[in-house]
A and B are shown apart, each in its own frame.
Chain A
Amino acid sequence: MFSKSKSGYSGPRKSRKLKDFGDGPKKTQRLITAVSIISGILLWFIITKIPSINTFLASPKQVFGAFMSETAANNRYWKDIAISLQRVFVGFGLGFLCAIPIAFLMGWYPKFRNLVEPWIQFFRTIPPIALIPLVILALGLGEKSKYTVIFISTFLVMVVTIFQGIREVDRTLVKAAYTFGATDKNIFFDIMIPAAFPFILVAARLGIATALTTLIAAELTGTTFGIGARIQGAQQFMNTSIVLLGIISIGVIGYALDKIILLIEKKTTRWK
């Protein structure tokens, strides 16, 4: 009855593993990440053994040495970090505080939107770095010019992103709220703000990334303190370990700030 035949039953089907575009098991994920980081550092260690590369790329050991001496010598390192962070927070903070109401006003009043949108779209196409010389001419080399450049660049990215989010709020939700007797004010505070909240966080992430880019550009000219200034100064003395230390510090700061916002997102938008 169950005679063997070429086309017949040949044991359980071995199912093909189909791509599901998931993240894979958590354990595997962690392991691969750890391997990746360790081998990256190892690779860095090895290639800096080559003298011609070591002339511009400091080794992990040299960078660690630079970190020790920079933190020891009258705390230069922490002072640079603090001043850079202050510039980021002031510029980004102002940008964030202005972007939210302006984006909401644009979403709420079409006339206001028509008034400001052409300007926002125009200035958005200009790389913020191109504004630095003008801002320095207007405000000098002090902190004000740094705050201003970061403010402008972060404001522009964030206002566009938040406004886009407001436009994407499902209009049926607004209608539903009206049927329960909501006033325009209720619609604004109870529907628009919570519905647009995820976009506000997306905007904040983009804003932080923009703030760091603009920060370093602004610090490369005519400033003594700040991470960018320190990198620029070290380059003139061919101090490759301090240059690299500065670059890595920016990376760590950017990564940490991004993770903080991601954490807020995870805590507040479980419903997404």
Chain B
Amino acid sequence: MSDNLIHIENVNKTYVVKGGDDVEVLKNVSLDISNNEFVCVVGPSGCGKTTLLNIVAGLETFNSGLVQMEGQNIIGPGPDRGVIFQQYALFPWMTVRKNIEYGMKYLNKYTAKEKYEISDKYIKMVNLVGFENFYPKELSGGMKQRVAIARAYAISPKVMLMDEPFGALDAQTRAQLQEDLLRTWEKEKTTCFFITHDVDEAVLLASKVVIMSSKPGQIKEIVKIDLPYPRNQATKLDDQFNVYKNHIWDIVYKMYLEVNK
């Protein structure tokens, strides 16, 4: 139990829509995330994945239930959780380095020199040496997401909350960033809560895959992925990988058939 980092219990969330029916987005969602886990959430578009992540991030309210981190209720956003948005969310008026340093600004923990050194370390980690003084508009999508990842890691959060971070990238860039993320996780072991709609990606990265169904969003099944780390793209050729993948696909496909009956 002491190993438990995030505790989500019977969370319900309904959006009130003006002049329409209320949307029940999450129904009795319960989930525990332990320290050093890599949890991937898969589910059809609109099933409430983003809503769930935003609730954990403290960016969204919920109607009932319990959401805790290390036994404390989550009441708002904070630097103990690093959030990666699909659309990068880099500050366009700041260079790569300034973006990364900005993340550390409100920690009031580091001097300017320390911030500079830490940003250097994470710029190296995401392979962006030489791009320190570039503005976001001068970077490709993959590079932007690398900056966002460096910025989040630089504040040393207890958990990374990633909302389809590679969803907008081309297949090759995506494969590269998946590997880089695996390397980082294998080294730093920062707990990851990672949303995707790509089953391959989920099985490749996760130690635990959470399958959600939609309307209302519920947790359908949790699958532990017992493939050894370190993993890389070649892991996808493993027989066991495909067993997991087919199993998850089966569930996702059955849900699809049910919804479209």
Residues of A at under 8 Å CB distance from B? 170, 172-173, 175-176, 178-183, 186, 190-191, 194-195, 197, 269-272
Q: Which of B59, B91, B104, B135 contacts A179 (CB 8 A)?
A: B59
Q: Chain A contacts of B103 at CB under 8 A?
A: 180
Q: Compute how far the CA of A131 lies from the CA of B57 in the bound complex, rounded to whole angstroms.
A: 52
Q: Is the CB of B135 within 8 A of A172?
A: no
The total of interchain contacts (Cβ-Cβ below 8 angstroms) comes to 62
Q: Is the CB of B106 within 8 A of A186?
A: yes
Q: Compute how far the CA of A173 lies from the CA of B85 in the bound complex, rounded to whole angstroms.
A: 10
Q: Is the CB of A173 within 8 A of B102?
A: no
Closest to B54 in A: A175
Closest to A270 in B: B135
Q: Is the CB of A181 within 8 A of B107?
A: yes
Nearest CB of chain A from residue B102's CB, rounded to whole Å: 7
User: What does the 1/0 interface line of B75-102 toward A look like (CB < 8 Å)?
Assistant: 0111101110101010111100000001
Q: Is the CB of A178 within 8 A of B77?
A: yes
- 11 CB contacts below 8 A, A to B, read A172-B85, A173-B91, A175-B83, A175-B85, A176-B91, A179-B83, A181-B78, A194-B91, A269-B93, A271-B135, A272-B137
Q: Is the CB of B93 within 8 A of A180?
A: no
Given contacts A180-B155, A271-B137, 14 further A-B contacts (CB under 8 A): A172-B85, A172-B87, A175-B77, A176-B91, A178-B76, A179-B59, A179-B78, A179-B83, A180-B103, A183-B106, A194-B93, A195-B91, A195-B92, A271-B94
User: What does the 1/0 interface line of B136-167 toward A look like (CB < 8 Å)?
Assistant: 11000000000000000001000000000000
Nearest CB of chain B from residue A193's CB, rounded to whole Å: 10
Q: Is the CB of A180 within 8 A of B81?
A: no
Q: Compute how far the CA of A170 lies from the CA of B92 in the bound complex, rounded to whole angstroms.
A: 10
Q: Compute how far the CA of A170 lies from the CA of B85 in the bound complex, rounded to whole angstroms.
A: 13
Q: Chain A contacts of B92 at CB under 8 A?
A: 195, 271-272
**Contact-residue size bin, chain B (C-beta under 8 Å from the other chain):** 20 to 34
Q: Chain B contacts of A195 at CB under 8 A?
A: 91-93
Closest to A183 in B: B106
Q: Compute how far the CA of A202 lies from the CA of B179 in the bound complex, rounded to whole angstroms.
A: 44
Residues of B at under 8 Å CB distance from A? 57-59, 76-79, 81-83, 85, 87, 89, 91-94, 102-107, 135-137, 155
Q: Compute how far the CA of A185 lies from the CA of B136 in the bound complex, rounded to whole angstroms.
A: 25
Nearest CB of chain B from residue A270's CB, rounded to whole Å: 7
Closest to A194 in B: B93
Q: Is the CB of A173 within 8 A of B93?
A: no
Q: Among the interface residues A173, A183, A194, A271, which one has the most CB atoms of the partner chain B within 10 A?
A: A271
Nearest CB of chain A from residue B234's CB, rounded to whole Å: 34
Q: Chain A contacts of B105 at CB under 8 A?
A: 180, 190
Closest to A181 in B: B106
Nearest CB of chain A from residue B158's CB, rounded to whole Å: 13
Nearest CB of chain A from residue B128's CB, rounded to whole Å: 17
Q: Compute how far the CA of A272 lies from the CA of B92 in the bound complex, rounded to whole angstroms.
A: 7
Q: Compute how far the CA of A190 lies from the CA of B91 in the bound complex, rounded to whole angstroms.
A: 10
Closest to B89 in A: A176
Q: Chain B contacts of A182 at CB under 8 A?
A: 106
Q: Compute how far the CA of A195 lies from the CA of B136 in the bound complex, rounded to whole angstroms.
A: 14
* A-B interface, 3 closest residue pairs, ranked by CB to CB distance from nearest: A181-B106, A176-B89, A178-B77
Q: Compute how far the CA of A258 lies from the CA of B59 in the bound complex, rounded to whole angstroms.
A: 42
Q: Chain B contacts of A183 at CB under 8 A?
A: 106
Q: Is the CB of A271 within 8 A of B93?
A: yes
Q: Compute how far the CA of A181 lies from the CA of B80 in the bound complex, rounded to whole angstroms.
A: 9
Q: Is the CB of B79 within 8 A of A180?
A: yes
